[in-house]
């Protein structure tokens, strides 16, 4: 399913790369709000620097975005995503490392 992507939101290609790396629902409690929608809300907030409460409604409740961001920071999900993307991109030559030494 192709989604209309607004500026700063995940493209279908980016989503396809990270979706398999995200935590799955464990079957307890209410179903989670769509990961992509919530991540786009988190990205909006990080990009704009706005308060969490100002996240547009199209991303769902601001509390959901904040709680998911906080939970994934605590459980290492964000670190694993970053590491996985860097390792894969480096293995196919898409990461350019620059070393700078300042005395």
User: Domain limits of the chain?
Assistant: 12-87
pLDDT score of 97:
47
pLDDT score of 93:
55
Measured CA to CA, the distance from residue 31 to residue 101 in angstroms comes to 49
Measured CA to CA, the distance from residue 46 to residue 18 in angstroms comes to 18
Which residues of the chain, if any, have pLDDT below 70? 1-5, 27, 88-103
Residues 6+ apart with CB under 8 A from 86: 95
Cβ–Cβ under 8 Å, residues 81 and 18: yes
pLDDT score of 4:
60
Percent of the chain at pLDDT > 70 equals 77
Measured CA to CA, the distance from residue 45 to residue 56 in angstroms comes to 9
Structure tokens of 33? 């709000």
pLDDT score of 95:
47
């Amino acid at each position: 399913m192709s989604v209309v992507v607004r500026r700063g939101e995940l493209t279908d290609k980016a989503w396809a790369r990270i979706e398999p790396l995200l935590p799955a629902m464990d079957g307890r409690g209410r179903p989670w709000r769509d990961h992509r929608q919530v991540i786009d809300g988190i990205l909006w907030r990080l990009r704009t620097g706005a308060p969490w409460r100002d996240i547009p409604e199209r991303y769902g409740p601001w509390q959901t975005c904040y709680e998911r961001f906080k939970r994934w920071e605590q459980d290492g999900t964000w670190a694993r995503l970053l590491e996985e993307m860097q390792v894969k991109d480096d293995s196919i030559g898409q990461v350019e490392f620059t070393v700078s030494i300042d005395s």
